[in-house]
Amino acid sequence: MAEAKTPLATGKAADKAAGKDAGAKESKASPVPTREAFYKMQADKQGEARQKIIAGATVAVCGLGGLGSHIAWALARAGVGHLILIDFDKVELSNLHRQEYRADQIGRYKSEALAENLLAALPHLSLTTHTAKLDEKNAPRLLASADIICEAFDRPEAKAMLAGFLPRFFPDKTLVAASGMAGFASPNLIKTRKITPHFYLCGDGVSDIAENDGLFCPRVMLCAAHQALTVLRLLCKEGDV
């Protein structure tokens, strides 16, 4: 892996401005905190009662592109007990403007690359990866243990397919899906709607990749953040939008 270049002059100037000693020794890595320390930190920041629920939950993320990679990060950082990460695709250069992968991961399966990135930051994370194309045949098996399922595909047909078959297999599981986060329009148009008690839809509902000028990381992240926060709120029985 190429060594990252640090803009030293800028860094020192910033330290000085912040009142830090610019001549201080370089920082040393501390030992990795224990699982218990991680949990306590998350409970301190997010509340003990909620953390207990979040840590006991299993969430599936279907599709690990711009939406799914960011959803997974948000849920992992929040301390979701178990993540199921599903994608059949490999990392490409064209993903790197909006998806949470590194240049040196191009050519690798997204499921494996994302798991590696998440575990590097959060070593006690529990997850399962499936390098597979989700369909009606494998969904009953791959999604069986999930409490909540995030739809994070890019093709509208795949989105509709999952939203369509999920209630037949798992009428009591909740789907948090996405539609409309392409283009450059206002961030304030991204919303979360409750379609049924088991079906939430995030996005602006209209911005299609086929008709818009591209996909922008922050707009996709907004939609992913809606989905991730909706998942956490649903787990904590705060399902009103």
Partner 1 sequence: MITVNGKSLPYPEKMTLASLLLAEGFTAARVVVERNGEILTSAAFESTLIQDGDCLEVVSFVGGG
3-state helix, strand, coil in the chain (%, to 5): 40, 15, 45
**Which residues ranging from 94 to 153 are in contact with partner 1 (CB under 8 A)?**
152-153
CB closer to partner 1, 123 vs 169: 169
CA separation for the pair 241, 13 (Å, rounded): 44
For residue 177, list its beta bridge partners: 201
**Which residues ranging from 169 to 198 are in contact with partner 1 (CB under 8 A)?**
177-182, 195-196
* Token output for 55: 């840590």
Least distance from C-beta 91 to partner 1, angstroms? Answer: 15
How many amino acids of this chain bind partner 1 (CB under 8 A)? 38
One of 53, 74, 189, 209 touching partner 1 (CB under 8 A): 209
One of 84, 207, 221, 234 touching partner 1 (CB under 8 A): 207
Least distance from C-beta 219 to partner 1, angstroms? Answer: 9
- DSSP 8-state class, residue 233: H
Least distance from C-beta 144 to partner 1, angstroms? Answer: 19
Query: Which residue do the tokens 């409309």 mark?
Result: 180
Q: Are strands 82-86 and 58-62 parallel, antiparallel or unpaired?
A: parallel
Sheet holding 58-62, edge to edge: 127-130, 82-86, 58-62, 148-151, 174-178, 199-203, 191-196
Tell whether residue 205 is a contact of partner 1 (CB under 8 A). yes
CA separation for the pair 192, 203 (Å, rounded): 7
Q: Print the binding letters for residues 38-77 with partner 1: x by CB under 8 A, - otherwise.
A: -------------------------x-xxxx---------
Q: Which one, of 138, 227, 104, 66, lies nearest residue 116 by Cα?
A: 104
- Judged by the rule CB under 8 A, the positions of this chain that interact with partner 1 are 63, 65-68, 152-157, 159-161, 163-165, 167-168, 177-182, 195-196, 199, 201, 205-210, 212, 215, 220
